[in-house]
Amino acid sequence: MKRQGIVFVISAPSGAGKSTICEGLRHSADFVYSVSCTTRAPRPGEVNGKDYWFISADEFTRHAAGGEFLEWAEVHGNCYGTLRARVLELVAQGTDVLLDIDVAGARQVRGQADAGFKPTLVDVFIMPPSAEELERRLRKRGTENEAQIQTRLANAKREMEEWRDYQYVIVSGSMEEDLARFRAIMSAERCRSRRWL
Ligand code: 5GP
């Protein structure tokens, strides 16, 4: 039997624990992680083509103007976008794809006009257990300066207002708990009879 590919979307305010989930999931071989384009500078250790495609603002504008993005958004002062062709190609092959995108991007993906695309979408919001814990996690990460932390905290508050638009919500606990819950969602969604051809 053959199954349609699924587009898993995961969103969370930064510091909510999403990167840890994505890192844990990346090592599973049963889906492809969608590598986004961004105008943000690479952080130490980030690899072009693996973490992101690090591109210039001009190149980003060209992709956007050419309609090449499935979705794109400005997040924390930088642009991020998902290239449409790669995602659609994988889904058509029956391969599952994971998109780690912000709430504005998720809204655009949900709003895709293509009636064939909609049923392939499964979106999950990772909710921090509390505002204090979110701030603690963000500071512990140590990758942002104070101004960036303040921007991210302000953005987090706005993003968290959209959790009800997602099909699933995971209230973040330990990394193992979050991963187990996400895997359970993946597993159940893959068993939906309507996905089997
Ligand atoms: P970071 O700079 O910490 O890697 O990512 C910042 C935010 O950008 C995260 O919330 C992440 O989900 C979001 N992001 C990463 N790639 C994309 C993308 O392709 N599209 C959108 N809309 N958001 C993205």
- Of 100, 123, 148, best ligand 1 pocket probe by most atoms within 8 Å of the beta carbon: 100
Write out pLDDT tens, residues 37-50: 999 999 999 999 99
Domain boundaries, the chain: 7-195
Mean pLDDT (whole number) for 160-176: 94
Which of 179, 172, 85, 100 is closest to 136 using CA atoms? 172
Size (the chain), residues: 197
The answer to pTM > 0.75 is: yes
Average model confidence (pLDDT) for the chain? Answer: 93
Q: With left for phi above 0 and alpha for psi between -120 and 50, is residue 94 left, alpha or beta?
A: left
Q: Which residue has the higher pLDDT, 96 or 138?
A: 96
Position 113 scores a pLDDT of 83
Q: Whose CA is nearest to atom 14 of ligand 1?
A: 101
Position 103 scores a pLDDT of 96
Write out pLDDT tens, residues 19-38: 788 888 877 888 999 999 99
Tally of CA atoms within 13 A in the half-sphere of 55 that contains its CB: 20
CATH architecture of 7-195: 3-Layer(aba) Sandwich (3.40)
81 lines ligand 1 (CB under 6 A): yes
CA 149, 8, 131: angle at the middle one, nearest 5? Answer: 30
Write out pLDDT tens, residues 144-166: 889 988 988 998 999 999 999 99
CA 21, 22, 23: angle at the middle one, nearest 5? Answer: 90
14 lines ligand 1 (CB under 6 A): yes
Position 152 scores a pLDDT of 87
Q: Whose CA is nearest to atom 21 of ligand 1?
A: 101
Give the Cα separation of 53 and 48 in Å (integer): 5
Report the atom number in ligand 1 closest to the C-alpha of 81.
Answer: 19
Give the Cα separation of 57 and 2 in Å (integer): 41
CA 3, 34, 113: angle at the middle one, nearest 5? Answer: 65
